[in-house]
Amino acid sequence: METEIILVTEENLDEVVQKATKLLKNGELVGMPTETVYGLAANAFDKDAVKKIYKAKGRPADNPVIVHISDFVMLRDIAEVNEIALELAKEFWPGPLTLVLNKKPSISDEITCSLPTVAVRMPSNYISHAVISAADVPLAAPSANLSGKPSSTTAKHVFDDFFGKIPLILDGGPSELGIESTVVSVVGEKPVLLRPGMITLEMLATIAPDIQLSNSIFEELESGKPVESPGIKYKHYSPNAEVILVKGSLEGFIRHLKTLTHGNICAMCFDTEQEKIPIPSISYGDINDHFSQGRRLFSALRMVDKLGSSKVYVRVTEDEGDYLAIYNRLLRAASFKVIEVE
């Protein structure tokens, strides 16, 4: 299959949206930008199209996908909406928040992997909004990366992963946020934050003061335990290189790097630190700006493999507040390997 990439502009938007919609109606997959990361979209009401997502990504059959909507009518067609869900949706949609809700019969087991719940998001990116609304059906769209690999934050990343496997990629430029959505389950007694994102715990607590943080954010799952969000079972966001986090000060990071026998290794650090790092390094943003880190994290992880490194040591600071979403992605990329330094 030939894969076409189209750069979307305000001028060609209608034409491009028509092309994407036609493919989606025919059960094909389309790579599309959202404000979080690029998504691999299929008609959520077409079971065979949804199956194609799993096949193209190599996604485990028990990891459900998020359904993307463009208005509240679509929401009511697919999920039971309770009061807290509605309050959170009104505050944060359209935007980078996914809500886990009880599903309605229109949502198939292919989407939810037979769970009684469905994860739903209304993206704000104008291209994804236009595509969903023109398709007039919700779109299933997990991140457009091969399963386990870093998410795609440019159309080129999508092309690198799905060249020859999907017919169309819409290029909307680099993702505005670069980190996947915050996922909150609202089906239990209290809302539970399952995956941190740019909508932080503190922001959610303004609407849902009793929100809980899922243990799975920091802990590796014990086998045999029930899973709140199946995706957390799997290694994620990982380049081919082994990822090791080094937590603490810049001085401690440098001291640690100096103890290593320099082979085929590299480092990830923050802007302005690179000149002090004794091995090849890649910056993943401004230390004081989690938005800049979000925009650059996945490109930096993909760059590690471009350098051909076998190991990357990543400088990390705290594990809370605005940095939590970044820390969570890195912790999973590192399969929870963290070295603490002074």
The one-letter code for the residue type at 160 is: D
Which of the listed partners (Mg ion, ligand AMP, none) does 193 bind, with a CB threshold of 5 to 8 Å by partner kind? Answer: none
Question: Contact residues for Mg ion (CB under 5 A)?
Answer: 143
Instruction: Work out whether 28 is an interface residue with ligand AMP (CB under 6 A).
Output: no
Secondary structure element (H or E) that encloses residue 170, with its range:
strand 168-171
Among 33, 123, 142, 167, interactor with ligand AMP by CB under 6 A: 142
Residues 85-114 that bind ligand AMP (CB under 6 A): 100, 112
218: DSSP letter: T
CB 78 within 8 A of CB 106: yes
Instruction: Work out whether 239 is an interface residue with ligand AMP (CB under 6 A).
Output: no
Instruction: Work out whether 120 is an interface residue with ligand AMP (CB under 6 A).
Output: no
Letters for 145-184 (x = contact with ligand AMP by CB under 6 A, - = none) are: -----------------------------------x--x-
Which of the listed partners (Mg ion, ligand AMP, none) does 100 bind, with a CB threshold of 5 to 8 Å by partner kind? Answer: ligand AMP
Tokens of 316: 């990390």
DSSP alpha helices (H): ranges in the chain?
13-25, 47-57, 72-78, 83-92, 109-112, 126-135, 155-162, 201-205, 250-258, 290-306, 324-333
CB of 119 to ligand AMP, least distance (A): 3
Instruction: Work out whether 199 is an interface residue with ligand AMP (CB under 6 A).
Output: no
Instruction: Work out whether 214 is an interface residue with ligand AMP (CB under 6 A).
Output: no
CB of 103 to ligand AMP, least distance (A): 8
Q: Which of 265, 264, 304 is nearest to 284 (CA)?
A: 304
CB of 38 to ligand AMP, least distance (A): 10
Instruction: Work out whether 63 is an interface residue with ligand AMP (CB under 6 A).
Output: yes
CB 304 within 8 A of CB 239: yes
**CA quadruple 137, 142, 147, 151: dihedral positive or negative?**
positive
SS3 content of the chain, % helix, strand, coil (to 5): 35, 20, 45
Q: Which is nearer to ligand AMP, 23 or 78 (CB)?
A: 78
CB 235 within 8 A of CB 332: yes
Q: Which residues bind ligand AMP (CB under 6 A)?
A: 63-64, 66, 100, 112, 115, 117-119, 142-143, 180, 183, 194-195, 229-232
